[in-house]
Structure 1
């Protein structure tokens, strides 16, 4: 009878390895999702920061050429046409390939004749965690460009 008991104990333990493998597979997929989607989030934030810097420079290059030509000394500066700032930023972001929604969500924050501050939004969809979260994520960045002139 002792042998019969051992056989049923062995039968009862069957499948426990499969459960352990299943648990580790789920943990591995969760870790992979964290690594891949975390890396994507960092990449999109860097892209948003880069686009914000470039868009700010692009908007700051739109200067009042007439004021520059009429400058009498080196202390006079060429003012930025800050009234066009949001249009310049959106035009640049369209050529950079951003979606229409991201372009319309981006623009200038209180520009003036000497400095423009730009905010940019980049929307992305997670790769692996999209199975759990069916929503888009956004990365936002802000950058400024100042009008400098001189010697």
Structure 2
């Protein structure tokens, strides 16, 4: 048995050329798995940041949609939203939340649109040079909801 074992170990091309090959393979696989984990975790983080931006944009639009035209409401002529006050209320909400965004009112003063821009700071992807990702959220509110005369 010793003869067979020695013959297999000493056979031509066996054992000497592949020394350390498994270590290189494991190193490459480890780097690849870490890169995939980084993409998954930072991708999920970006999705979470996008959901937050959308929520903030929707809440800012809602806050703007509640800015009634006080003069028309008090006199009883109409219940409507003041576009200037709506824009200011939505901008104030964004400022209080600590995010940057734009607030626009449609030409016919019936819709308020808020766009929030933010940045997600990556945790794993800086290894490959991606330090941050841009995030955008959108929200819209109807400034008139079928009520044009007080009851």
TM category, shorter: 0.7 to 0.9
- Say if 1:85 and 1:108, in contact at 8 Å, map to a contact too: no
Deviations along 1:96-121, one digit per CA (max 9) or x if unpaired, are 233xxxx2xx1212345432111111
Stretches of structure 2 that go unaligned for 5 or more consecutive residues are: 1-6
Equivalent residue, structure 2, for 1:61: 66
- Say if 2:60 and 2:114, in contact at 8 Å, map to a contact too: yes
Residue 91 of structure 1 deviates from its aligned partner by 1.8
The number of residue pairs the alignment matches comes to 141
1:12 paired with 2:8, answer no
Deviates more, 1:46-55 or 1:133-142: 133-142
Between Structure 1 and Structure 2, whose CA radius of gyration is higher?
A: 2
Stretches of structure 1 that go unaligned for 5 or more consecutive residues are: none
TM-score (norm 2): 0.78
TM-score (norm 1): 0.78
Deviations along 1:3-46, one digit per CA (max 9) or x if unpaired, are 89549732322101101100110111111011101101110111
Equivalent residue, structure 1, for 2:96: 95
Q: 1:136 to 1:90 in 2, by over 3 A?
A: farther
Q: 1:4 to 1:54 in 2, by over 3 A?
A: closer
- Say if 1:48 and 1:120, in contact at 8 Å, map to a contact too: yes
Q: Secondary structure at the match of 1:140?
A: strand
Q: CA RMSD in A?
A: 2.6
1:50 paired with 2:55, answer yes
Q: 1:118 to 1:4 in 2, by over 3 A?
A: closer
Which 4+ stretches in 1 moved above 4 angstroms?
2-5
1:109 paired with 2:96, answer no
User: Counterparts of 1:65 and 1:52 in 2: how far apart (Å)?
Assistant: 24
Equivalent residue, structure 1, for 2:4: none
